[in-house]
Structure 1
Amino acid sequence: MKNTFLKRVISSALALSLAASCGLTAFAAESGNQVTDLSAEVIDASNRENAYSNYVKKHADAARPQKEVIINGADFVKFGDGAVITKETVDGEPNVMKWANQVGTVDFKVNVPETGWYNIEAKYEALNNEAGGNTTSVEFALLIDGVCPYTTASRITLPKRWVNKTEIQQDVRGNDIRPGQIAVECWQVSPFKDTDGLRNEALGFYIEAGEHTFTLQSQKAQFALAYMKLFNETKPAPYVAPDANEIQNSHAERILLEGENATYKSDRTLFPTADRNSYLTSSANGQSPTKTRYNTIGKDNWNKATQAATWEVDITTAGCYKIGIRAKQDSMRGMYSNRRLYIDGVVPCAECEQLKFYYDTSWQLTVPSIGEEPMFFYLDAGKHTITLEAVPGEIGEIMGDIDEIVYQVNSYYRQIRAITGPNPDEYNNYDIKGSIPGILDRFKEYSESLRAQMKKIEKLSGTGGTEAVTLDKLAIVLDKCVSKADRIPNMMSQIKDNVTSVSSWVNQYREQPLEVDMIEVLTDDQEFTECDEGFFKSLGYGFKAFIGSFFEDYNSLAEDDEEAMICWTSLGRDNATVIQTLINNDYNPTAKTKVNLKLVQGGIIEATFAGKGPDLALFMGGDFPIQLAARDVLVNLKKFDDYDEVMKRFAPQAGVLYEYNGGCYGLPVSQTFPMLFYRSDVLSQYGIDPKTDLNTWENLLKVLPTLQRNYMEVGLILPVGSVISPVTEAGNTFASMLLQKGVNYYSDNLDKTNFDTQEAIDSFDAWTKFYTTYSFEQTYDAFTRFRQGDMPVLIQNYTFFNQLTVAAPEIKGCWSFQPIPGTKQEDGSINHASCSVGSAALIFSKLDEDKQKDAWEFIKWFTSDETMTSYGNDIESIVGTMGRFDTANLNALEQLSWTTNEVSLLKNQMLSQVEIPVIPASYGVTRGLINAFREVVNNAENARDTLFWYNKDINDEITRKREDLGLNS
């Protein structure tokens, strides 16, 4: 403990010394860091005040005016910040506002006659761009008189309308081909809803009487607006059964709606899905035990609040109808999913606000009912719509309350850690109770609240609590803290582990997954289709599936065609299936030479030299492209006339990773680069502004003492992994610092390194000092440390965003990202350069000239704006935000599910990248640098001398490799 404390004091002193040498001795005093109030109450007030739940509680007693206020879209008073807005007629709707791009703001003047609580509804048409992209929903922030009322209002979402691009077709093997999803432009009416999945009702706004300015601030707002309406939602009345004679006298043909044939959806993720587990599964193409049948909709893709699917039903005879839904929820054991039922866009009765679909591994029939009696709904002859919308139900507010507890306990955890350090001395009395006033009362309150929420969950699920036992475990730990306050420092790991467990549990059980097989609309004299499987039929179906598995080639992604070019990829099966579907639908029908995709895991070099390799390959990264190019088995893409034009799709230096001996042997497909992630809620407590205090390495060192005094860390890209990469990792700190000084790794002809320059020595010294002088950690769990807040500044590849968004909902709105720290240049600008890693599309030289041209056309198509956008959105729709595609295509990046601000930050970093060439001896360079790093950090060697000696070995390896390949002749 004493050594650790002494080390931190020394590191803080050194950092302050550096600040003083830069003329910044007054930094701490000026920022007020010495007098920051770190009590949990202050933290709560500053970071959670703008939560929607608090906003609702604050205005719970507000009046609900019944008078509506219409705000015509064409009545905007001004627009700016790059918005392209006009007044015109759109799809037959005259005099509307058309917002033709995705940036800027627009203002409306609104006269509100009565103070109170209002919902807001919009009539809008989501617009596609010229390429058919802009595949995300309409997104914008709503500001009232220049202020966003609460955090959820900063991301208002209006959904697009998605339809199947084609009917479900079959390939030559008899397997269904999943249709693509396209957005159709049409007018829709929708209230502003809570997409966080915490509340069933539409978002509300407290507005005082008088004139106000409503500002729509674009996140991705490309749409036409007819009007916005201030109103108050009317709750549907309880169900009233039609007259018994009317029910009994209703007769019509059975109506069956296949789930996969939904007329339209609110989200592109609601595409047809496949179920081969049961012979009962209904399908227009007939169920098969061996073939792929896209015969359902939903599964885990239909799990978020506000996602909706709509089926159109043609009623030939007016009368009273009952509705049965064959569905399955097999993801959340002990719980149920919720759906709101609309008929013709209206919830017919209060009981349809929340239909419950309970956990079961088999198909279940759910019928809107009162007790045992099904509800009947009168439908006129003609076309009607039936819509199922995912809603949180009672569990939503419970999860919101648990999120709040998790956040608050984490806040206290950081305060305890700031007192005790990461490794508390079990014999030291830290007086946590006296140092953090009110902590025991709050822990008792949280414990009681957790148990109250657990009882609610038990009541909802009808179980004995096994599904929510995670909450009880955290409550027990908090009880121990209250009863044995002097032992709190020794229970920090228990607090941390149980908070993590609760967060993971909440993340899983807040979802609303559901798979729908079919919907039946029947009259009283008809019975719903049976859902119980017959034993012998089920046995026979399973036997056929078993026998078929010996003969069916489930790894084949395309039909056999001797003339087709063979393309290999080593991605996962979901990714490969998406690619093959795109090829089948969009490329092969018009291509001179078709392409068949094969899913192959590794062995491409060996297969190529054995004469059994592919004609093309996708997503080839690391040093594979250069190793293959050095052995003359790839086509130099610079030979094609339009090469320079095609490369404009990517960042200026993206192709450097695939260049060898004057040629380029790969077309960029993916590109991953670093960003600086920060916890805004934590940093604000210490007066740290990320945009100015973390924008350079120099400024980062100035705020380091403040963080380390409170036992918080800064995380850099990990310098040492279990396996040394053959190429430089994206965002490597030494590489970033060197590149920002205008020096790359190698000489112009790539025959030696530049590690003997003063810039390299200074960069290597600064890199190692982070670990020797400032005690940075060489290994850490980035996600857990950032989530807990004890590592509030972190440099990671930008795809870290995906993990945080999905797996850490309790800190939503409490973090952001920006370009990595840079180096100030002589002209005052800041250079944020770093290096990337990526993957490419390759063409193998075994093809003849004509086929090489055909292969070039294919990889041009695959890396085009349209295909990269479709691939990225399709794969995200299957695996969720966690699988968001790290495309190398600049325009495609804008069409993925990033907001305008996020895209701007990413492109700024992307365009700042300076790539480090990959050479045949790259493995020796990374190995030598890591060994030099270890010598300095672990063995206290001199940085300059160590780099000098290891650089000799590195250059010797480069020379040897060049001689082997005949590059020095």
Structure 2
Amino acid sequence: MIQPVAYAEGSNDTTETINNPPITSTVTRERYSQYIEGTESDHYKGEVIRLDDLNDVATDALDTYQGEDVIFIDQDQTGNLTVTVPETAYYIIGFDYKIAGDNVLPTQLEMTVNGELPYYEMQNLVFENGWQNPLEIPLDKYGNEIIPQPIKYDEWQFKYIIDSGYRTSLPLLVKLTRGENELALTISEGNLLIKSVELRGQLDVPSYEKQDITGNNYIEIEAANALYLRNNSAIRANASYNVNLIPYSSDKRVLNHIDPDSFKTPGDEIIYQVDVPEAGYYQLGINYQQRSKADFPVFMNIRINDTLQHDLLKDHPFFYQNQYKHVTLTDASDEPLTVYLEEGLNTVSFQISIEPIKKALEEIEQLTREIQSLSLELTNLVGPDVDRFRDIDVNDYIPGVFDLMTSWADRMDAVYSEMRSYNPSGGEVGAFSGLRVAEEQLRSLVSEPRKLARRKGELATGTNSVTAYLGNLMQEINDNGIGIDRFYFYQEDVEIPKSASWLERTWGSVKRFINTFGEQDYDVSNVNEENLQVWVNRPRQYVEIMQRLIDETFTAETGVRVDLSMMPDQNKLILANAAGEAPDVALGVNYALPFEIGIRGALQDLSQLEGYEEVASDFSPGMLVPATIRDGVYALPDTMNFWVMFYREDILSDMGLPIPETIDEVRSYLPELQRLGMNFFYPTAGMPGMKIFAGTMPLIYQNGGQLYGDTIHRTMLNDNQAIEGVRLLTELFTIYNVPYDVPSFYQQFRDGSIPIGISDYYMYNLILNAAPEIRNVWNIALIPGIENQAGEVERWSTGGAESNLMFKDTGKTDEAWAFMKWWASAETQVAFGNTLQTTYGPEYMWNTANLTAYQELPWANDHKAVILEQAEWIAEVPRVPGSYMLERELSNAYNAIVLDGDNLRTAIDLASKRVNRETERKLEEFGFMVDGQIVDPYPNPELSIRD
């Protein structure tokens, strides 16, 4: 058995280090809940301080907007405001604000008070745009209602400063000292116009007192069609064939409920204007569905005329309901609660809240940090890999470690028990099952103390670790989807709606089933031959937006009518062409597919059509390579799958590591990363089967290598520069111990075990929208490359995603080309990208291949700058006869070298022979070679791109 050495003696208090881990220290800044604890007696209780005259707010950001004095703070600027208060106390601060221009994303900012950041939440505040629907709901050509494009609200809005994660239902308090105080607002995204400033004590929420109700008024509001305003453009109505919803149709899509997949994020708010015939007290009923949290409620704040009338409207629970059901809001005694409405117009809002579980979230975050810290301590002790025959008593080296782990399990149990109190039955809570699994795994580790060193990966590494369960739980907790059909205010002498009976539901299902035998929307068989036929390899929500844009702009301008159809299977396009059933144009097909169709003479050479050069100039030249066949180009790029480097700012900063520019710098970082149990991610580690070109090509190209020469007759894979590129790639795994198999870089990036690596657009979208626990502590950079003789770092990468093509046999070449040019144009791509993201939410990011359009899309500006620069280094591998074999054999060589330990040159020579043999066979098949002799040289299309 290994004996304890100076490691344990030199540690004054290892458990204290674990409880306060040095890594990710930026996250451990004092939280608001700690800042505000015990300060109730010091809250400001005086009159509201309203500063409408901005001359009273000494500031260096004064400006004018539409004839009014305003404070204007643009992106990457700081506006300093000086406010005067009568006493030292805790205040809430609010602004009348607007966001100038066409910004879609919320404005993000940091606020310091008298030069200091009071607490963690102040480093990321958000001010949202308001959004409204057009007056009329648009219809598609089949008579279905479709989701309208949101319209930005252009009036001034008021908002108190609040946590961007909306973990508190009330505004954030800040301590100000008597006299002048300086507030510094630094904008990291967007801009902000401020018309006035308000300071006051915390908002009062009275205790509930039941009131008598008299009258017979009934006021019903359809949630989908009466929506007045929301603070998230993605909150939307949707259609469901459900007899419990109004309106209802068995044969047409009608918007009849607030989509729970859109109304789900803490802070999401929907606002209605309700006309009330008579002032008085009312009961409140709602027809809703909540199936995002099993055995656990979704909470909402219900404000009437911008006020929480009583504490039962604050964080009101809406329990799990798999189907839509009418429910009247009740008090603790299960009696209907009462609310007061004024005569005339009242505003009523529903806002997703998570304040009741705020402490639980903070405890889970703290536990995650502590467990990660222990995982690092264990790796420092025993190294990244542990021999299963070594017997190590970890407690000798980290005294008290098992008591500490037991305390973590106890803390998890306490959180889980608290969450059970929200389950009406008092039973298990499915929504927090991940917490129970994490607790049981910790207790299992404690039960086998001598196996802890070998099982240390179960703490914080991989998809089945304790921290992975906690991280997934954090993600799931932020999904609070609730669907709302209608709500209604009513008095005593009124009959309220009831849910549909079993018979009504069954009859509705039967009618719907019968209607499925008719013509289907956007089906390839449901077309008008006189119109341009376009097949789209995308879901319905994309197609609906595209069809609307086509009808409103392209058809209106050209007179050309277009039928969009959802593509049944892109791989059947070749068969459809052979059968004479191919469309005129196909959109969104895999970028490698145009070659397979074009080499068989089925596609139109777009480079011969008028205006091609102008259209092509908007794309990275390397994106055109896969669709280049000899001297022709047979497809246009549609989307771009960019590759960038992801890194955890918090971890690299605490380690003192700058962003690496080259692979050599990455290799120099690896010993320090690995000493702490961390590592680097290279894309091939995320490719469990074949290593595609996106993983194997970059280092070959960055090293000056090529995969083909002037023609494709022979591969250049065994050229010295290509071999050196393969050596650099494989040595990352064979010598530098970069992991060669990473099931989820996303997960390990979140938990910090792999805080840096190279990945693509899909990882970007995932981290941006599905990793709330590391928001603001990660970033992207150009991928590290290889410095050439001129001192320039070459950063070549792939970028292909989807492409658009035209079939050669179309009888409408001019119309089809006009349509393709229109769709590829920057104006159309910006319109589509903006509409898609504002309508369906931030996860529906349009990764257009049009670089001119991409600059205008609603993505974070600093990220766009990185992606646009990396796009200059896109150099797709050409798709040519036999190139599939090159991709396969390069993958086989990689596996042979990394996994089997084969000699590099032997593996590459074998791969080259197989590639050349298959290339010759395909050249024979397509007539470029006859009896082993080249009769028609096939040029390498990549050469002009990299010259």
Q: 1:631 to 1:427 in 2, by over 3 A?
A: closer
1:714 maps to 2:693? no
Mapped partners of 1:909, 1:775: distance in 2:
27
Mapped partners of 2:477, 2:19: distance in 1:
30
Does the aligned pair in 2 maintain the 1:404–1:810 contact within 8 Å? no
> What displacement does 1:663 show?
2.7
Report the counterpart of residue 530 of structure 1 in structure 2. Answer: 498
Does the aligned pair in 2 maintain the 1:418–1:712 contact within 8 Å? no
Query: Structure 2 residue aligned with 1:363, among 305, 310, 324?
Result: 324
Query: Structure 1 residue aligned with 2:722, among 760, 763, 767?
Result: 760
> What displacement does 1:847 show?
2.2
Report the counterpart of residue 903 of structure 1 in structure 2. Answer: 864
Mapped partners of 2:156, 2:596: distance in 1:
54
Does the aligned pair in 1 maintain the 2:634–2:805 contact within 8 Å? yes
> What displacement does 1:495 show?
3.8
> What displacement does 1:567 show?
1.5
> What displacement does 1:402 show?
1.8
Mapped partners of 2:581, 2:454: distance in 1:
61
Report the counterpart of residue 8 of structure 1 in structure 2. Answer: none
Mapped partners of 2:361, 2:668: distance in 1:
39
Query: Structure 1 residue aligned with 2:293, among 326, 332, 346?
Result: 332
Report the counterpart of residue 943 of structure 2 in structure 1. Answer: none
Query: Structure 1 residue aligned with 2:377, among 391, 415, 419?
Result: 415
Mapped partners of 1:652, 1:233: distance in 2:
58
Does the aligned pair in 1 maintain the 2:148–2:839 contact within 8 Å? no
TM-superposition CA deviations, 1:801-856 (whole Å, max 9, x none): 222344443344443332211223445443333222221121222223xx323223
1:94 maps to 2:61? no
Q: How many residues align?
A: 908
Partner-residue secondary structure (3-state), 2:514: helix
TM-superposition CA deviations, 1:244-298 (whole Å, max 9, x none): 5xx52x5656443343431121111111112213x12111xxx123432211013
1:790 maps to 2:766? no
1:701 maps to 2:667? yes
TM-superposition CA deviations, 1:168-200 (whole Å, max 9, x none): 244454432222222232210112232324332
Partner-residue secondary structure (3-state), 1:796: strand
Partner-residue secondary structure (3-state), 2:349: strand
Q: 1:958 to 1:684 in 2, by over 3 A?
A: same
Mapped partners of 2:116, 2:662: distance in 1:
31
> What displacement does 1:57 show?
0.5
The residue correspondences of 1:255-266 to structure 2 (distance < 5 A) are: 255-266=220-231
Partner-residue secondary structure (3-state), 2:165: coil
Mapped partners of 2:12, 2:790: distance in 1:
36
Partner-residue secondary structure (3-state), 2:386: coil
Does the aligned pair in 2 maintain the 1:50–1:150 contact within 8 Å? no
Report the counterpart of residue 941 of structure 2 in structure 1. Answer: none
Report the counterpart of residue 942 of structure 2 in structure 1. Answer: none
Query: Structure 1 residue aligned with 2:96, among 123, 141, 144?
Result: 123
Mapped partners of 1:700, 1:71: distance in 2:
54
Query: TM-score, with normalisation over the residues of structure 1?
Result: 0.85
505-514 vs 549-558, greater mean Cα deviation: 549-558
The residue correspondences of 1:534-933 to structure 2 (distance < 5 A) are: 534-551=501-518, 553=520, 556=523, 560-584=527-551, 587-599=554-566, 600-601=568-569, 602-684=571-653, 687-691=655-659, 694-718=660-684, 721=687, 724=690, 729-730=693-694, 732=695, 734-748=696-710, 752-781=714-743, 782-848=745-811, 851-872=812-833, 881-896=842-857, 898-933=859-894
Does the aligned pair in 1 maintain the 2:147–2:839 contact within 8 Å? no
The residue correspondences of 1:99-498 to structure 2 (distance < 5 A) are: 102-110=75-83, 114-129=87-102, 134-144=103-113, 148-171=117-140, 173-208=142-177, 213-240=182-209, 244=212, 247-248=213-214, 250=215, 252=217, 254-277=219-242, 279-283=243-247, 287-370=248-331, 371-462=333-424, 463-467=426-430, 468-482=432-446, 485-492=449-456, 494-495=458-459, 497=464, 498=466
TM-superposition CA deviations, 1:376-408 (whole Å, max 9, x none): 444444322211111114123323322322332
TM-superposition CA deviations, 1:391-443 (whole Å, max 9, x none): 11412332332232233223322332343345534443433224335533432
> What displacement does 1:143 show?
4.0
Does the aligned pair in 1 maintain the 2:53–2:196 contact within 8 Å? yes
TM-superposition CA deviations, 1:739-793 (whole Å, max 9, x none): 3345543335555544454432321221122222223333221233333333333
1:47 maps to 2:11? no
Identity %: 22
Mapped partners of 1:43, 1:220: distance in 2:
31
Q: 1:76 to 1:587 in 2, by over 3 A?
A: farther
> What displacement does 1:550 show?
3.2
> What displacement does 1:457 show?
0.7
Does the aligned pair in 2 maintain the 1:678–1:816 contact within 8 Å? yes
Amino acid at match of 1:236: V
Query: Structure 2 residue aligned with 1:507, among 461, 475, 496?
Result: 475
Mapped partners of 1:827, 1:143: distance in 2:
45
Report the counterpart of residue 950 of structure 1 in structure 2. Answer: 911
Mapped partners of 1:651, 1:373: distance in 2:
65
Q: CA RMSD in A?
A: 3.5
Does the aligned pair in 1 maintain the 2:588–2:802 contact within 8 Å? yes
Query: Structure 2 residue aligned with 1:520, among 484, 488, 491?
Result: 488
1:65 maps to 2:44? yes
Mapped partners of 2:54, 2:793: distance in 1:
42
Mapped partners of 1:186, 1:877: distance in 2:
18
Q: 1:870 to 1:438 in 2, by over 3 A?
A: farther
> What displacement does 1:75 show?
8.5
Q: 1:146 to 1:661 in 2, by over 3 A?
A: farther
Q: 1:874 to 1:417 in 2, by over 3 A?
A: farther
Mapped partners of 1:416, 1:854: distance in 2:
66
Mapped partners of 2:855, 2:446: distance in 1:
50
Amino acid at match of 2:24: N
Amino acid at match of 1:859: M
Mapped partners of 2:54, 2:363: distance in 1:
37
Unmatched tracts of structure 2, length 5 or more: 3-10, 929-934, 937-947
Partner-residue secondary structure (3-state), 2:43: coil
Partner-residue secondary structure (3-state), 2:452: helix
Q: 1:450 to 1:682 in 2, by over 3 A?
A: same
TM-superposition CA deviations, 1:483-539 (whole Å, max 9, x none): 6543422543554534423432342234221111012233443232223x2232223
Mapped partners of 1:218, 1:648: distance in 2:
34
Q: 1:900 to 1:955 in 2, by over 3 A?
A: same
TM-superposition CA deviations, 1:727-750 (whole Å, max 9, x none): x533x2x53223334554333555
Unmatched tracts of structure 1, length 5 or more: 3-33, 80-84
Query: TM-score, with normalisation over the residues of structure 2?
Result: 0.87
Mapped partners of 2:21, 2:839: distance in 1:
37
Q: 1:55 to 1:295 in 2, by over 3 A?
A: closer
Mapped partners of 2:917, 2:844: distance in 1:
41
Partner-residue secondary structure (3-state), 1:327: strand
Q: 1:592 to 1:959 in 2, by over 3 A?
A: farther
Does the aligned pair in 1 maintain the 2:315–2:356 contact within 8 Å? no
Partner-residue secondary structure (3-state), 2:21: helix
> What displacement does 1:917 show?
3.1
> What displacement does 1:320 show?
4.0
Amino acid at match of 1:339: M
> What displacement does 1:89 show?
2.8
Does the aligned pair in 1 maintain the 2:222–2:246 contact within 8 Å? no
Mapped partners of 1:117, 1:780: distance in 2:
49
Amino acid at match of 2:772: P
Partner-residue secondary structure (3-state), 1:124: strand
